[in-house]
Amino acid sequence: MVEFNSCLIVTRHELLQLQEEDIEKICKEVFLTHELPNDPNELKKYVDSHDAVIGSFPLHLQVQVLQFKKALVIFMMKSIGTTDNKEDAEYLATKYPGRSVVLPPSKEGEKFRVMIYEGLKQIKEIKVVDEWIVQHEVQHSD
């Protein structure tokens, strides 16, 4: 099993007991933060003293973490349903004790989401492949 000396955990949510246990299996020291800085220079300083960054955070920050030669580990969460009311969501979550979480609507009109924790996955590479769909030539003036 992979083991890291220092892990920075990035999460806005309270960790499930099972997530904490999994982190303890792979990390000697654990540091917690709710978010990462967006500025690349600040981010580099922020993650510099850690071997691994674990959590769920935006893709552009994940790419930078890999560029800084840090291990990137994500919480694998699978959606198992949505519902209009909290009681139904909590009932669905009881089918997966210790592994599920109910996420409230983030804005008006959204539903409660029920997510199940599947484990930790290390991301080794993020590849971005792009192609032009509309391109405008630059006119040079003489």
Nearest residue to 22 (alpha-carbon basis) of 79, 61, 74: 74
Q: What predicted TM-score, i.e. pTM, was given to this entire model?
A: 0.83
What was the pLDDT predicted at 142?
A: 66
Per-residue pLDDT of the chain (142 residues; tens, 9 = 90+): 789 999 999 998 899 999 999 999 999 999 999 999 999 999 999 999 999 999 989 999 999 999 999 999 999 999 999 999 999 999 999 999 999 999 999 899 899 999 999 999 999 999 988 899 999 988 877 6
E strand intervals along 11-139: 27-33, 52-55, 71-83, 100-103, 112-123
- List the helix and strand counts (H, then E) for the chain: 4, 6
Q: Is 11 within 8 Å of 55 (Cβ atoms)?
A: yes
